[in-house]
């Protein structure tokens, strides 16, 4: 399972990366009511539920998701999430 933030139609949304492209989380029928941005998905404690849903998918469900996916040419990727609490960096360029 790979998650990303995709810029689609001028808005940023959490997206599930599948073989055919990406599927915005807000458009996945089984997940109605879940946060549409990745930070809220992570901070809200929904990641484990999301992972459980992902591992419970049948092969047919995965095919349906791939059919529903937007091709990579129609989207652009954005930072995983905005407003991080801390940014850590280590300089190893000496």
pLDDT digits (tens, 9 = 90+) for 30-71: 655 678 888 888 888 888 888 888 899 899 988 888 888 999
Tokens of 22: 């990406």
pLDDT at 31: 59
Domain residue ranges in the chain = 2-78
- By three-state DSSP, how is residue 8 classified? strand
| CA pair distance 62, 86, nearest whole angstrom | 35
> For residue 89, what pLDDT band results from cuts at 50, 70 and 90?
confident
Q: How many CB atoms lie within 10 A of CB 65?
A: 19
Residue 34: CB partners within 8 Å, gap ≥ 6?
25, 26, 41, 46, 50
């Amino acid at each position: 399972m790979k998650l990303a933030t995709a810029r689609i139609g001028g808005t940023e949304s959490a997206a599930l990366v599948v073989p055919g492209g990406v599927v915005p989380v807000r458009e996945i029928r089984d997940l109605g009511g879940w946060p549409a941005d990745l930070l809220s998905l992570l901070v809200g404690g929904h990641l484990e539920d999301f992972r459980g849903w992902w591992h419970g998918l049948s092969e047919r469900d995965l095919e349906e998701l791939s059919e529903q996916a937007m091709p990579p040419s129609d989207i652009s990727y954005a930072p995983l999430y905005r407003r991080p609490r801390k940014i850590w960096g280590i300089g190893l360029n000496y």
